Amino acid sequence: MIRVLLAAFFILFGAATAQAVLPDEMLPNAQQELRARGISANLRCLVCQNQSIDDSNASLAKDLRLIVRERIVAGDDDKQVVDFIVSRYGNYVLLKPPFQMDTALLWILPFALLLIALAVAFAYLRQQPEPETELGDAQNDILKSE
Protein backbone atom coordinates (compact mmCIF):
# COMPACT_ATOMS: atom_id res chain seq x y z
CA MET A 1 0.00 0.00 0.00
CA ILE A 2 2.74 2.39 0.98
CA ARG A 3 4.55 1.58 -2.23
CA VAL A 4 1.48 2.33 -4.29
CA LEU A 5 1.01 5.62 -2.48
CA LEU A 6 4.65 6.53 -2.97
CA ALA A 7 4.45 5.69 -6.66
CA ALA A 8 1.30 7.76 -7.01
CA PHE A 9 2.98 10.62 -5.16
CA PHE A 10 6.01 10.60 -7.41
CA ILE A 11 3.91 10.34 -10.57
CA LEU A 12 1.77 13.30 -9.50
CA PHE A 13 4.68 15.30 -8.14
CA GLY A 14 6.73 14.58 -11.23
CA ALA A 15 3.91 15.76 -13.47
CA ALA A 16 3.44 18.93 -11.46
CA THR A 17 7.05 19.92 -11.82
CA ALA A 18 7.37 18.96 -15.48
CA GLN A 19 9.48 21.65 -17.09
CA ALA A 20 9.09 23.59 -20.27
CA VAL A 21 12.86 23.65 -20.69
CA LEU A 22 13.77 21.16 -23.38
CA PRO A 23 16.94 19.09 -23.11
CA ASP A 24 18.41 20.62 -26.28
CA GLU A 25 18.13 24.11 -24.75
CA MET A 26 20.22 23.23 -21.74
CA LEU A 27 23.78 24.37 -21.34
CA PRO A 28 26.45 21.69 -21.04
CA ASN A 29 27.92 23.49 -18.04
CA ALA A 30 25.71 22.48 -15.10
CA GLN A 31 26.49 25.57 -13.07
CA GLN A 32 25.65 27.93 -15.93
CA GLU A 33 22.46 25.97 -16.56
CA LEU A 34 21.52 26.39 -12.90
CA ARG A 35 22.04 30.14 -13.17
CA ALA A 36 19.94 30.23 -16.34
CA ARG A 37 17.15 28.37 -14.55
CA GLY A 38 17.28 30.80 -11.64
CA ILE A 39 17.16 33.85 -13.91
CA SER A 40 14.35 32.47 -16.10
CA ALA A 41 12.23 31.60 -13.08
CA ASN A 42 12.00 35.33 -12.31
CA LEU A 43 11.21 36.52 -15.82
CA ARG A 44 7.62 36.81 -16.92
CA CYS A 45 6.45 35.12 -20.08
CA LEU A 46 4.84 37.83 -22.21
CA VAL A 47 2.40 35.48 -23.87
CA CYS A 48 1.00 33.73 -20.79
CA GLN A 49 1.49 36.44 -18.29
CA ASN A 50 1.41 34.67 -14.98
CA GLN A 51 3.98 32.08 -15.93
CA SER A 52 7.69 32.55 -15.85
CA ILE A 53 9.61 31.86 -19.04
CA ASP A 54 11.01 28.84 -17.23
CA ASP A 55 7.49 27.37 -16.92
CA SER A 56 6.03 28.42 -20.23
CA ASN A 57 5.81 26.43 -23.43
CA ALA A 58 5.21 29.53 -25.55
CA SER A 59 7.70 29.93 -28.35
CA LEU A 60 8.53 33.47 -27.29
CA ALA A 61 9.40 32.10 -23.84
CA LYS A 62 11.68 29.57 -25.46
CA ASP A 63 13.41 32.31 -27.47
CA LEU A 64 13.93 34.29 -24.27
CA ARG A 65 15.32 31.23 -22.46
CA LEU A 66 17.80 30.78 -25.27
CA ILE A 67 18.82 34.44 -25.05
CA VAL A 68 19.32 34.11 -21.27
CA ARG A 69 21.64 31.15 -21.91
CA GLU A 70 23.39 32.95 -24.73
CA ARG A 71 24.16 35.92 -22.50
CA ILE A 72 25.44 33.65 -19.75
CA VAL A 73 27.77 31.87 -22.16
CA ALA A 74 28.90 35.28 -23.44
CA GLY A 75 30.08 36.00 -19.89
CA ASP A 76 27.32 38.25 -18.53
CA ASP A 77 26.63 38.13 -14.81
CA ASP A 78 23.07 37.52 -13.63
CA LYS A 79 22.23 41.21 -13.37
CA GLN A 80 23.49 41.94 -16.88
CA VAL A 81 21.35 39.12 -18.27
CA VAL A 82 18.25 40.47 -16.54
CA ASP A 83 19.06 44.02 -17.67
CA PHE A 84 19.39 42.79 -21.25
CA ILE A 85 15.81 41.49 -21.19
CA VAL A 86 14.47 44.44 -19.17
CA SER A 87 15.95 46.92 -21.67
CA ARG A 88 13.73 45.32 -24.31
CA TYR A 89 10.55 44.56 -22.41
CA GLY A 90 10.68 46.89 -19.41
CA ASN A 91 10.31 46.14 -15.71
CA TYR A 92 7.10 44.42 -16.64
CA VAL A 93 9.01 41.18 -17.34
CA LEU A 94 10.23 41.00 -13.76
CA LEU A 95 7.89 38.79 -11.75
CA LYS A 96 9.08 40.67 -8.67
CA PRO A 97 8.88 44.38 -9.43
CA PRO A 98 11.83 46.47 -8.22
CA PHE A 99 11.35 49.07 -5.48
CA GLN A 100 11.51 52.47 -7.14
CA MET A 101 9.53 55.71 -7.45
CA ASP A 102 6.65 54.39 -9.54
CA THR A 103 6.36 51.14 -7.63
CA ALA A 104 6.71 52.64 -4.13
CA LEU A 105 2.93 52.70 -3.66
CA LEU A 106 2.71 49.04 -4.64
CA TRP A 107 5.24 48.01 -2.04
CA ILE A 108 4.27 50.38 0.77
CA LEU A 109 0.48 50.35 0.55
CA PRO A 110 -0.13 46.90 2.12
CA PHE A 111 1.96 47.80 5.16
CA ALA A 112 0.43 51.28 5.37
CA LEU A 113 -3.07 49.80 5.25
CA LEU A 114 -2.15 47.30 7.96
CA LEU A 115 -0.88 50.12 10.19
CA ILE A 116 -4.02 52.19 9.57
CA ALA A 117 -6.21 49.19 10.35
CA LEU A 118 -4.31 48.56 13.58
CA ALA A 119 -4.56 52.22 14.57
CA VAL A 120 -8.30 52.28 13.89
CA ALA A 121 -8.82 49.02 15.78
CA PHE A 122 -6.78 50.31 18.72
CA ALA A 123 -8.72 53.60 18.87
CA TYR A 124 -12.01 51.74 18.63
CA LEU A 125 -11.19 49.27 21.36
CA ARG A 126 -10.03 52.03 23.68
CA GLN A 127 -13.22 54.04 23.44
CA GLN A 128 -15.42 51.03 24.26
CA PRO A 129 -16.92 51.43 27.75
CA GLU A 130 -15.84 48.90 30.35
CA PRO A 131 -18.26 46.02 30.14
CA GLU A 132 -20.48 45.78 33.20
CA THR A 133 -19.45 42.84 35.29
CA GLU A 134 -22.09 40.78 36.93
CA LEU A 135 -22.25 41.23 40.58
CA GLY A 136 -21.45 38.31 42.75
CA ASP A 137 -23.82 36.99 45.40
CA ALA A 138 -21.84 38.64 48.18
CA GLN A 139 -22.14 42.03 46.54
CA ASN A 140 -25.86 41.55 45.90
CA ASP A 141 -26.30 40.75 49.54
CA ILE A 142 -24.57 43.96 50.47
CA LEU A 143 -26.76 45.95 48.09
CA LYS A 144 -29.89 44.39 49.52
CA SER A 145 -28.90 45.11 53.06
CA GLU A 146 -28.37 48.77 52.27
**Does the protein bind other proteins through residue 63 (CB under 8 A)?**
yes
Whole-angstrom Cα distance, residue 113 to residue 103?
Answer: 16
- 6 class by beta-carbon count within 10 Å (0-12 exposed, 13-18 middle, 19+ buried): exposed
In the complex, minimum distance from the CB of residue 57 to other proteins, in angstroms, rounded to a whole number: 15
Tell which one of 17, 31, 87, 133 touches other proteins (CB under 8 A). 87
Least distance from other proteins to the Cβ atom of residue 68, Å: 11
Residue 92 binds to other proteins (criterion: CB under 8 A): yes
Of the pair 79, 88, the CB lying nearest other proteins is at 88
Q: How far apart are CA 33 and CA 88, in angstroms?
A: 23
With a CB cutoff of 8 Å and minimum separation 6, the contacts of 140 are: none
Inter-residue contact 99 to 107 (CB < 8 Å): yes
**Residue 133 makes contact with other proteins by CB under 8 A:** no
Q: Which of residues 98-127 bind other proteins (CB under 8 A)?
A: 120, 124, 127
**91 secondary structure, DSSP code:** G
CB of 83 to other proteins, least distance (A): 11
With contacts defined by CB under 8 A, name the span among 1-9, 13-21, 30-38, 83-91 that binds other proteins.
83-91
CB of 115 to other proteins, least distance (A): 14
Least Å distance between CB 67 and other proteins?
7
DSSP string across 61-84: HHHHHHHHHHHHHTT--HHHHHHH
Q: Is residue 39 within a helix (H) or strand (E), and if so which, with residue range?
A: helix 30-41
Residues 69 and 28 sit within 8 Å (Cβ to Cβ): no
Which residues form the interface with other proteins (CB under 8 A)? 46-47, 49, 59-60, 63-64, 67, 86-90, 92, 120, 124, 127
